[in-house]
Every structure is written in structure tokens, then in C-alpha cells.
Amino acid sequence: MEFVVKYAKPSGEVLETVQIGQTEDEVRHHLQEQGMLPISVKTRGVSLFNKRERQKPINPDNFIVFNQQFVSLIKAGLPILRALDLLKAQIKNPILKRHIIDVRDRVHSGAMLSDALKAQMVFPTVYTASIYAGERSGDLAEVITRYTGYQKTVLAVKKRFLTSLIYPAFLVVLCIVMVTVILTYVIPQFAELYKGLGTELPRPTRILIYISTTLKANLIFILPVLLGSALAFKLWVGTISGRLWLDRLKLRAPVVGNLWTMFSMAQLSRTIATLLTGGTPLLTTLQVVRDASDNTVISEAIRNAVIDVQDGKPLSDSLEKTGHFPDLALEMIRVGEQTGSLPEMLIHVADYYDEDVNNKSAALLSVVEPVILIFVAIFVALILISLYLPIFSLGSQMQK
């Protein structure tokens, strides 16, 4: 939620800015921690149109380039405000440029950079938390550099995985198109041909023609039903119960569930390591990771782990209690806690699972591709045999 805040600096200067928070008391407390004197805190209304505009995603590659340039300017000794002034004129992406201009204006009004970024509601939670930790530690450039490296690694893993799915996806689409053409066009042509023969057709041919004619006759009803079902499923998945069901399915599905679990574990480990290395406390790190997780099951598991960590329990024991984390990862986290090298061990966990996901997904796809081709070959062979059976039977009758 956004609040319009008017506050006084220790010097007596009165400023007005917009800050993000859950409640007015939280915003007031945040200002007091910075040594400011809150004068007024009012809820800021945001229209539905503006909210949708804000939530348009930012191109990750453009965002990485922006951060690299931002770090270079900071390391060169430029103040944050001056660096934002220079960058806003160079950004080509219109969505990113609009947000950076707003960030610059908020910083100029006296807001912290992390608060100005958080107010945009489009930047990753991990990023804004890293910026906040960098502001508190005074090492903003190093924190942004570390985040940029983290983001590059995550994007590389995602792109490599998606690239490996292109060919199987193409085969699946091709199969669907081919089956649709055969059932709705080819088979009806043969049905018209056989109708004039006046002979009883073999059972496989009759079944195939019946399926084809029924499908073609009801296609105008089938397509809306399929599209409506897909839309209804998408809307249901958008609900809390639907999203929870889908996320559970992702983790429990045969073969693919194991890959998804390892991928989630790699992302989680790398995120925690990045925040801890940047100076973010463990509890705050877990809360950020909980909110940034794409899987509600993992998010709920981390939420339970946060409660245990607050009670003084080790992170490894807290995660083990949830039952959603692999034994190898838990053991490496436990070693990292005991040796005081938790961020380093988490990086090793992330690298291990990234490599494992890459190898196992490549092996799985190497099996899936021939299976799809075999399925298509069998399907086409059965259709051809069913269609040509009447011709074979007519040929045998003529020989007699």
C-alpha cells in the first residue's frame, strides 16, 4: 500500500514523498528509525489503470544493463541522484524509463532509493531488499554488482531450459495440427468415397469414420467448450486454492516433479546466498524469499521455517521440518551453519542443482522426442490401415 508522507529532517527541512508499507504505523516507525520526524501519513489512492500500468513487466536484459551502468556511475564517485539523472536519458525501454524517472523524482524528494524502487511495484523483491541492505551497509555498488551476477545466472539457467523445450513443443503442436487435419478433412473424403461402394466396411474403418464425422459435425461446439474449459482452468489456477493445487502437482508429478523441486531449490539457495552476502539478516532474508517465491508450497514452507528460526532453531532443522527440501541440500546447509560459511554453501547447492537440472532435463528430452515421433508413426499407421482395409477386402473379392 502507498502512503503520502510529510516529514521533517533533523535539519528542520520539511519534505513530502510517497512510501510503501502495510500500515500507517509501520511507515511512521520506518521514518523514525531513519531519524526523521513524521508529520502526516495518508493513504494514497491508486486507480486500477495506474496499477495495471505499474505492473507491466520489465525486460530482464534491459534491467541488467541498467544496473551495470548504475554501478559504474556509483563507482566513479557520482551521487545516486546524479547517476539516475544521467541514466534516465539513456534508457531505451519505455517501461523501465518511466519507472526510473519516478524513482529519480522520489529520491529527489528525500525518499531512500530502496523505498523509491519498492513504490514502483515492478522490481523484484530480492532486488529492493538488496538495495536496502546496501544502503544500510554503505556498500551499494558491491550489492548491486552481486545482484547483477545473481540475475545473470538465473536468466541463463531459465533460457537454457526453455531453449531445450522448443523442439519438443514444436513436435507436439505439429502432431495436434496433423491429427486435426486427418480427422476433419482426410477421413471424411474417404468416407464419401466408400459410401458409393455399397459394401459393408470393416469395423476399424467404421469406427474411424464415425469418430471423424462426429468430430467434424460438432467442431463448432467442441472448440468453444475447449476454449471455455481452458479459460475456466486459468481463472481457477489464479485463485488461492487453484494455485496451491497446481504448485503441489508441480512438485509431486512423476519425473518432472523431481526436476521442478531441484530447480526451485537452486533458485531458493542462490537467492538466500545473494541476500546474506549483501548484508541482509537471516530472518529478513527468509521473509523476502518467502514473498518472492513462485511456488506457494515452497512459500508456505519458508513461512513455517521463519517461525522456527525466530524461536532460535537452526535454518537446516527448520527447513527439514517442512518436508519439502532434499536431504543433500539440508545437509550442506547444516554444514554451512556449523562452519559459519552458509552463503558459500548455498552457492554450492545452487550450482549443483542447476547442473543436475540441466543434465536430467537434457536426458529426459532426449527420450521424449523419439517417444513423440513413435506415437505419431503408430497413429498414422493405424489410420492408414483402417482407411485402406476396404480397398484390400475389395481386391481380395475381385480375385475370387
> 98-150 pLDDT, tens per residue?
888 888 888 888 888 888 888 888 888 888 888 888 887 778 888 888 888 88
Return the bridge partners of 18, or none: 4
Q: What is the pLDDT of residue 379?
A: 83
Q: What is the pLDDT of residues 9-63, one digit of tens each?
A: 777 677 777 776 666 767 777 777 777 777 777 776 544 334 444 456 788 888 8
Q: What is the pLDDT of residue 49?
A: 38
DSSP 17: E
Helix (H, G, I), strand (E, B) or coil at 298: helix
Whose grid coordinates read 546447509? 333
Task: In whole angstroms, give the CA distance from residue 3 to residue 19.
Answer: 5
Q: What is the pLDDT of residue 396?
A: 58
Task: In whole angstroms, give the CA distance from residue 45 to residue 10.
Answer: 29
Nearest of 382, 392, 386 to residue 190 by alpha carbon: 386
With beta carbons less than 8 A apart as the criterion, state whether 3 and 18 touch.
Answer: yes
Question: And the C-alpha cell for 285?
Answer: 532474508
Q: What is the pLDDT of residue 77?
A: 86
Burial of 321 (C-beta count, 10 Å sphere; 0-12/13-18/19+) = middle
Q: What is the pLDDT of residue 232?
A: 92
With beta carbons less than 8 A apart as the criterion, state whether 8 and 37 touch.
Answer: yes
User: How distant is the alpha carbon of residue 340 from its chain centre?
Assistant: 31
pTM greater than 0.75: no
CA angle 288, 294, 297 (to 5 degrees): 90
Please identify every stretch of the chain with a pLDDT value under 70, giving residue numbers as ranges: 1-2, 12, 20-23, 25, 44-56, 196-199, 393-400
Q: What is the pLDDT of residue 44?
A: 64
Q: What is the pLDDT of residue 47?
A: 42
Taking each helix axis as running N to C, give the angle between helix 94-108 and helix 60-75, from 0 to 180 degrees, rounded to the nearest 10.
Answer: 40
